């Protein structure tokens, strides 16, 4: 046995009497951690109302204490006890996008422990749509704090195997609900200011939020490196999603990228490119997904980054995705994997 736990991996269905679901719910009620599938990425779940259980999340992941967690619920009745106010905008967003990959930041109630919110006066809340996640929340009867079920800094897990790679020995149970449909973390929007503000892009796009809310602001940290000091979305300031290799983003037309890549050939140098360009890429390469399908790129991104580790890549040049629609979420994750290092080949 490696580590404190002999970690079990159980296939899970959404049936409330599925033994995997009842076992997960029992562990959560006992204050233990369980990795569960959601539609975005796999989550490392704990009872959100139990500070000791939540503290185990930070320990297992090696997550900085000042990075707050999202609380997951399975029905709207679970929301009022967690917040002091439900603004009209929150009701509208819930109606449009819940259950689904949208997290709302709201004023927190005193029931939510400090360790969940990293001491902030707000709490981030989401209602996932994945049937296994919903079953686990329902059967446990608890609000569930859950960040991504990876070691801090590594690419987020989009399969149960990824969770096992990172957390074997550190937690008692991983539920396998198949590969994640979305593949990147939820959209985060804060509703505490005058104007709703997008803190993290995801599958619910800025355009979709505007359709429901009218005006929204996009936090500068979505596309640029956050300055030192307080930031609206604490998670945005960290180096993230990184394979062991150094990642450098390249922007510009494929012809310019191709010429550049041809000059970089060396041991351990790889490229991450659109599927259409795999055939004439001068470096060994992995496909991110089709050029014009950001949803597919999002699905593949984190497993592609993990695959580059398996290939023992040392340096990876990653073609920049388009920043529209869901492409903004893909770009946001990739630029962080690259530590904001970009080579502009626009010519």
Our finding on whether 148 is near Mg ion (CB under 5 A) is yes
Looking up tokens 């804060």 gives 190
Nearest distance from C-beta of residue 99 to Mg ion, angstroms: 20
Q: Which is nearer to ligand AMP, 140 or 148 (CB)?
A: 148
Q: Which is nearer to ligand AMP, 166 or 185 (CB)?
A: 185
| Under rule CB under 6 A, residue 148 binds ligand AMP | yes
What are the residues facing 36 on neighbouring strands?
43
Residue nearest to ligand AMP (CB): 235
Nearest to 73 by CA among 140, 14, 122, 20: 140
> Which one of the spans 30-38, 50-58, 121-129, 206-214 is the region binding ligand AMP (CB under 6 A)?
121-129
Q: With respect to ligand AMP, which residue has the nearer C-beta, 270 or 331?
A: 331
Minimum CB separation from Mg ion for residue 247, in Å?
A: 17
Nearer to ligand AMP, 188 or 305 (CB): 188
The answer to whether residue 147 forms part of the interface with ligand AMP (CB under 6 A) is yes
CB-CB contact of 112 with 24 (8 Å): no
With binding defined as CB under 6 A, does residue 277 bind ligand AMP? Answer: no
Nearer to ligand AMP, 236 or 245 (CB): 236
Q: How far is CA 278 from the centre of its chain?
A: 26
Which of 28, 90, 188, 338 touches ligand AMP (CB under 6 A)? Answer: 188
- Does 264 bind ligand AMP (CB under 6 A)? Our answer is no
Q: How far is the CB of 120 from ligand AMP (least distance, A)?
A: 4
| 123 counts as binding ligand AMP under rule CB under 6 A | yes
303 binds, options ligand AMP, Mg ion, none, Cβ within 5 to 8 A by partner type: none
69 binds, among ligand AMP, Mg ion, none (CB under 5 to 8 A by kind): ligand AMP
**185 lines the binding site for ligand AMP (CB under 6 A):** yes
Instruction: Compute and round to an integer the Cα radius of gyration of the chain.
Output: 20
Residue 189 Cβ, how far from ligand AMP at the closest point, in Å?
10
CB of 23 or CB of 38, closer to ligand AMP: 38
Structure tokens of 171?
């937690």
Which residue's C-beta sits nearest to Mg ion? Answer: 148
How crowded is the C-beta side of 266, counted as CA atoms within 13 Å? 8
71 binds ligand AMP (CB under 6 A): no
Q: Which of 100, 235, 289, 321 binds ligand AMP (CB under 6 A)?
A: 235
Q: List the interface residues with Mg ion, window 34-53 (CB under 5 A).
A: none
Q: How far is the CB of 313 from ligand AMP (least distance, A)?
A: 24
Binding interface with Mg ion (CB under 5 A): 147-148
Binding interface with ligand AMP (CB under 6 A): 67-70, 105, 117, 120, 122-124, 147-148, 185, 188, 190, 199-200, 233-236
């Amino acid at each position: 046995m490696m580590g404190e736990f002999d970690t079990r991996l159980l296939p899970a269905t959404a049936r409330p009497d599925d033994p995997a679901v009842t076992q997960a719910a029992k562990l959560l009620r006992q204050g233990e951690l369980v990795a569960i599938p959601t539609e975005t990425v796999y989550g490392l779940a704990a009872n959100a109302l139990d500070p000791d259980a939540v503290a185990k999340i930070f320990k297992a992941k090696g997550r900085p204490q000042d990075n707050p967690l999202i609380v997951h619920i399975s029905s709207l009745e679970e929301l009022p006890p967690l917040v002091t106010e439900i603004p009209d905008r929150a009701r509208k967003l819930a109606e449009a996008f819940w259950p689904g990959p949208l997290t709302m930041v709201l004023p927190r109630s005193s029931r939510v422990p400090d360790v969940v919110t990293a001491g902030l006066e707000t709490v981030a809340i989401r209602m996932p749509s994945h049937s296994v996640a919903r079953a686990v929340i329902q059967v446990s009867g608890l609000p569930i704090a859950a960040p991504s079920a990876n070691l801090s800094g590594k690419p987020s897990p989009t399969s149960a195997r990824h969770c096992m790679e990172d957390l074997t020995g550190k937690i008692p149970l991983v539920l396998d609900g198949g590969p994640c449909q979305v593949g990147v973390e939820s959209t985060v929007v804060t509703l505490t200011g005058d104007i709703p503000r997008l803190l993290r892009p995801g599958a619910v796009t800025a355009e979709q939020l505007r359709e429901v809310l009218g005006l929204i602001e996009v936090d500068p940290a979505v596309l640029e490196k956050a300055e030192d000091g307080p930031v609206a979305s604490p998670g945005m300031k960290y180096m993230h999603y990184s394979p062991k290799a150094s990642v450098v983003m390249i922007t510009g037309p494929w012809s310019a990228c191709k010429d550049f890549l041809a000059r970089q050939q060396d041991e351990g140098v790889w490229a991450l490119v659109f599927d259409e360009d795999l055939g004439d890429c001068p470096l060994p390469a992995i496909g991110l997904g089709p050029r014009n399908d950001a949803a597919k790129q999002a699905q593949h991104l984190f497993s592609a980054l993990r695959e580059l580790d398996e290939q023992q890549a040392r340096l990876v040049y990653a073609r920049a995705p388009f920043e529209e629609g869901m492409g903004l979420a893909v770009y946001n994750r990739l630029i962080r994997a690259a530590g904001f290092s970009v080579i502009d080949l626009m010519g």
